[in-house]
Amino acid sequence: MQRRKLLFFCSKFGGGGAEMHLLRIITHTDFAKYEVHLALTRDGGNYEARLPQAIVVHHLTTGVTSSLKALLKSYLPLKKLIDQLKPSAVISIMDPQNLMLSYLKRKLKNAPPVILCCQNAPVKSLSNEGLRGKLYLNLIPKWYNAATEIIAICGGVKQELIDKLRIRVPVKVIYNAGYDEDSYLLKKAEPLDNTYVRKDNQLIACGRLHKQKGFDILIEALALVKQSVDFNLWILGEGDDKQKLMELRDAKGLTENIRFAGFQTNPYQFFANADVFVLSSRWEGFGNVITEAMICDCAVVSTECDFGPNEIIKHNKEGLLAKVEDAVSLAQNIQEILVNKELQEQLRIAGRERATHFSSLAISRQYFEAIDEVINNK
């Protein structure tokens, strides 16, 4: 049987959650069935070295540092590559690449099926990106409808695409590939640096230090928790708000309780040494870090933000859900899970079982089934 030729289209292959999601999916390719090509708008991504050797990588530009400039310069090379390869389908990740590919599909003769993958909530995320974000939001309803199908990262993103962005092509929900089965156990077992000492009621939070992640709300909440329960928190991640958040921590008298641990290449070893993971986000595309924490036996407290957390966990079943931008609600849930050890253990066990539904292998199979369905129906 002749192998189906698939072309995936992405930005620089490294550093981000969408890129990691794609890496996890294509790592599980059945290479007896598919010939996989990966077109990148920029070279130099640190995930490239982790790709299976069978995947053919095409750098559409070289030496371009600007992501927008690289995207624009990629248009003609991508068109030429599609003409040469004649793939059975082209699949793109991230909004800028989705826009270019959906526009390009209109210009191609005998265009292959095009699948756009939405890894974030477009209205929520792009509304905070200035003029470029407004331009993208204006173009999405016009261009995305040229696609053959769209894969949304969760049900909430699907509804946003249909209700707010007037998408009329089929939209399928496939959740994020949460963790790598082959590596998380090894990473989880790695010992922490001896400068990190696990304490009683060890909390962990993880993400870009940005307004979206709500770390300011978390610090406000923990100031309330500290009045009755002692704790220790590691915050993993970097971002522009770091100094402001450190000043808020100190102003709340939490200097000894909260440590900013910076970007960590292996968050699993931190999750494995924590009791409770807290997601304090104002919004998410999915909240993949929840599944990573749960598979490492962390009990979870999350805001019930748009979108994702309430599709991963049900309140009091696999975790606890707090109101968004509500420090009191978040504090109450954190305090409950710290004080009630029986509940904490119940949520830890149920959460770990739930996380298995988001393994890379399980999600990858769903993606390739969806791709095959699109190709078969063209």
Together in a domain, 206 and 349: yes
3-state secondary structure 115-150: EEEECCCHHHHHCCCHHHHHHHHHHHHHHHHHCCEE
pLDDT of residue 199: 87
pTM: 0.84
Cα separations in angstroms, 340 against 45, 163, 303, 323, 331: 44, 41, 19, 20, 14
What is the model's pLDDT at position 182?
A: 72
Examine the domain organization and report whether 232 and 331 are in the same domain: yes
Give the pLDDT confidence score for residue 191 in this predicted structure: 86
Count the alpha carbons within 13 Å of 18 in the hemisphere toward its beta carbon: 24
pLDDT in tens, the chain (378 residues): 789 999 999 998 987 778 889 999 999 999 999 999 999 999 988 899 889 999 999 999 998 889 889 999 999 999 999 999 999 999 999 889 999 999 999 999 889 999 999 988 888 778 877 888 888 899 999 999 999 999 999 999 999 999 999 999 999 999 998 888 777 777 787 888 888 888 899 999 999 899 999 999 999 999 999 999 999 999 999 999 999 999 999 999 999 999 999 988 889 999 999 999 999 999 888 888 999 999 999 999 999 998 899 999 999 999 999 999 999 999 999 999 999 999 999 999 999 999 999 999 999 999 999 999 999 997
Closest CA to 40 of 15, 4, 6, 77: 77
263 and 277 share a domain? yes
Tell me which residue of 56, 107, 108 sits closest to 86, measured CA to CA.
108
Q: Give the three-state DSSP class for 186.
A: helix
Quick count: other Cβ atoms within 10 Å of Cβ 328?
Answer: 12
* Whether residues 262 and 154 fall in one domain: no
User: Are 349 and 365 in the same domain?
Assistant: no
Residues 46, 191 share a domain = no
Same domain, 266 and 298: yes
Do 114 and 196 lie in one domain? The reply is no
Which two three-digit tokens encode residue 4?
Answer: 């189906």
What is the pLDDT at residue 123?
86
Amino acid residing at 177? A
In this structure, are 201 and 223 located in the same domain?
yes
Domain containing residue 22: CATH number:
3.40.50.2000
Q: How far is CA 98 from CA 11, 43, 71, 105, 217, in A?
A: 11, 19, 11, 11, 33
d(CA 338, CA 340): 6
Residue 131: the pLDDT is 87
pLDDT at res. 109: 87
Under 8 Å between Cβ of 300 and 293:
yes
Number of structural domains found in the chain: 2
**CB 35, CB 5: distance < 8 Å:** yes
169 and 192 together in one domain:
no
Q: Are residues 235 and 294 in the same domain?
A: yes
At 341 the pLDDT is: 97
Question: Closest Cα partner for 272 from 199, 189, 343, 179?
Answer: 189
Are residue 163 and residue 213 in the same domain, yes or no?
no
**Domain boundaries, position 249:** 184-357
